[in-house]
Amino acid sequence: MAVDLSQNEWDEQLAKDDNAIVLDVRTEEEVEEGHLPNMQHIDIRQGQGFLDAVGALDKSKNYYVYCRSGARSAQACTLMNQMGFETTYNLEGGIMNYEGPIEQS
């Protein structure tokens, strides 16, 4: 089941999670404007392409999923849970409200 995390919870939990994958589900254009460090990018708007790419991921990992505002990442978490991913976290408010380090592509 997906869990919504505030930025503080996200940062604290991610810092001590050795099994974490950060997943950005925004569009390519959004990613080019800035993204979280060490993320993997799979655009949720690709439909079946998104499902195929996510289906190839390791289901034993913990996924920290974000988008611009938190809506698409919540949807991605739900889809991932339906596909058998047990641990997904959604960044509340998305990258718009994130105050940590942002990298440029």
Distance, CA of 73 to CA of 47 (rounded, Å): 14
Question: The sheet that has 20-24: what strands, in order across it?
Answer: 2-5, 88-91, 62-66, 20-24, 39-41
Element (H, E) at 62: strand 62-66
> Is 67 marked active-site?
yes
From 2, 39, 65, 67, the catalytic residue = 67
58 contact partners, CB below 8 Å, separation of at least 6: 21
Type of residue found at 64: Y
CA 5 centroid distance within chain: 11
Residues with a known catalytic role: 67
